[in-house]
Structure 1
């Protein structure tokens, strides 16, 4: 006989908690690797660096540059 059956219930709870923690950890790891906190394009530039490059190339004027810079810093 296998006993009164109480041992499986307690161990089962820990097994569920273990797998939930594993799944949460994997999701967190993927999110950290794939999506960083700040925007970066494929070349690794931040949004502010891209804005500065656009201004330097003459794609946007000073007024538009200043407004977008303020928006990014807020």
Structure 2
């Protein structure tokens, strides 16, 4: 059965705009989904504070302990020097060395 339906110029323009919107939405959704998979997941405390990643460098751990007041400035400087391989300024052996 043949239906004689003529859309006219505005019908074709409307169809083209609808197709552009459809494909633009699909492409945007795919890009946003891929970016969400590639981004590391942020973990937050319930109060909204950020939890840093669990992998830490030894110097960062020392800096955190110093900032919390668990170690003093002398112990912090001495530990940093040991980690970086600098000789001790007092001429003594490093702890644990024989």
Q: Shorter-chain TM-score category?
A: 0.5 to 0.7
Larger relative contact order, structure 1 or 2 (CA cutoff 8 Å, min sep 6): 1
Q: CA deviation at 1:26?
A: 0.7
RMSD of Structure 2 on Structure 1 (CA): 3.0
Provide TM-score, normalisation by structure 2: 0.42
User: Quick one: distance in 2 between partners of 1:17 and 1:66?
Assistant: 54
Alignment gaps of 5+ in structure 2: 1-5, 44-50, 68-98
Q: In the TM superposition, what whole-angstrom CA distance separates every residue of 1:17-41 from its partner, at most 9, and x where no partner exists?
A: 00110111011010011113439xx
Which residue in the other structure is 2:25 paired with?
A: 21
Structure with the bigger percentage of helix: 1
Alignment gaps of 5+ in structure 1: 40-45, 69-74
Aligned residues between the structures:
54
Provide TM-score, normalisation by structure 1: 0.53
